[in-house]
Amino acid sequence: MNSKFIKKILVWSIFFGAFIAAALIVGYNSFFGSAIRQSKQIFVTTETTYEQLAAEVKAELSNPLKVRAFDFYASHLNLQNRLKAGHYTLGEGMSVISIVRMFALGEQTPVTLVVGEARTLPQLAGKLSKQIMADSVSLLSAMQNKQVRAELGYKRDSLIAMFVPNSYQVYWTVTPEKLLERMKRESDAFWNENRMAKLARTKLTKYQVMTLASIVYEETKNRGEMPKIAGVYINRLRKGMPLQACPTVKYAIGDFSLTRILFKHLRYDSPFNTYRNAGLPPAPICIPSIAAIDAVLNYEKSDYLYFCAKPEFDGTHNFARTLSEHNANSRKYNEALKRLKK
């Protein structure tokens, strides 16, 4: 065999070897290399088709080779028939392999569910439904389901007392029933040993504390005054005096925009009207803040029986021991309202 022929074989061997190596590198990079330049959130519902998902994913892939690799591997894993609803994150630097596996295995990214201000269960269901896949109708149906409430240990209209305002990590696809079970566990954890010790001091039940805290929270957002206002209401409860809490009247009527409570409002017939009924209302009038709950548990001892918003409208109150003192404070406040034509 002459040397020229041998040289040709060596040259072609090197050429084909380099070609094969390059092809292997390109192929490996197509499947395992970085495919996502920027993080992207994707929500897959039970109505989402594979074609819709594929189009959304491909729009985020860095080059045509990654697109072909996605089509090949998605077909290989039969993603079209394995697609699972959920909230997914295309993370920066993810490969095609990891992307397809994520969807095929349903490896969701949790969402942050914020439980915040709400006065009624329908309002709460509406706010929660904007953060998870379940709609407000199914959420409210679960909240009002007699058997579900019984299993959670709550009666009609009382379930709102179970919700502690906070941020929680949940799966976007969480069912209404599972969400309520989770909120029950969070409520049980909230009532830790420290809070239970303080609960004994109030001589109230957990449910009563949540109810009173909801009134305190509607009375003021000033954290410094919350323990003092809680103390006033506890004084009235212990003396057998009606609470006469204006926020309960607004709740009973269903008009939270009222700036003045008139005599006609005080006569409104409702178990939530604490001007007509003694003791606490039958359920919380809102989801109270943690600060308001702790304010009741740490209520300030005093001999105050009344309080009235200050005429300066700075969010604080004048406190009084006697009805005559309170009436004087009320006159000043009402005169200020008249000047402002409220």
User: What tens digit of pLDDT does each residue of 63-113 get?
Assistant: 898 899 999 999 999 999 999 999 999 998 899 999 999 999 999 999 999
Phi, psi for residue 325 in degrees, rounded to 5: -65, -45
In-domain check, residue 157:
yes
Q: Are residues 83 and 127 in the same domain?
A: no
End position of a domain, from candidates 165, 190, 215: 190
In-domain check, residue 268:
yes
User: What tens digit of pLDDT does each residue of 26-71 get?
Assistant: 343 455 557 788 899 999 999 999 999 999 999 999 889 889 999 9
In-domain check, residue 319:
no
- Who contacts 304 (Cβ-Cβ below 8 Å, separation ≥6)? 228, 231, 232, 235, 319, 320, 321
End position of a domain, from candidates 57, 75, 105: 105
Across 76-89, b (16+ Cβ under 10 Å) vs e yields ebebeeebbbbbbb
Question: If we measure between CA atoms, which residue out of 49, 134, 131, 59 comes closest to residue 99?
Answer: 59
Q: Are residues 170 and 235 in the same domain?
A: no
Across all residues in the chain, what is the average pLDDT?
A: 89
Q: Are residues 200 and 268 in the same domain?
A: yes
User: What tens digit of pLDDT does each residue of 125-174 get?
Assistant: 999 999 999 999 999 999 999 999 999 998 777 899 999 999 999 999 99
- Asked if pLDDT for residue 16 goes beyond 50, the answer is no
In-domain check, residue 325:
no
Kindly indicate the confidence band of residue 195, based on its pLDDT and cuts at 50, 70 and 90: very high
Count of domains in the chain? Answer: 3
End position of a domain, from candidates 89, 105, 121: 105
Q: Are residues 150 and 168 in the same domain?
A: yes
Residues of the domain holding 84: 24-105
Q: Are residues 208 and 288 in the same domain?
A: yes
In-domain check, residue 316:
no
What pLDDT is recorded for position 15?
41
Q: Are residues 128 and 206 in the same domain?
A: no
Q: Are residues 96 and 153 in the same domain?
A: no
Q: Are residues 198 and 268 in the same domain?
A: yes
What pLDDT is recorded for position 251?
94
| CATH number of the structural domain spanning residue 66 | 3.30.1490
> Where are any strands of DSSP class E within 244-322?
306-309, 317-320
- Asked if pLDDT for residue 115 goes beyond 70, the answer is yes
What pLDDT is recorded for position 1?
53
d(CA 126, CA 123) in angstroms, rounded, equals 5
d(CA 333, CA 323) in angstroms, rounded, equals 15
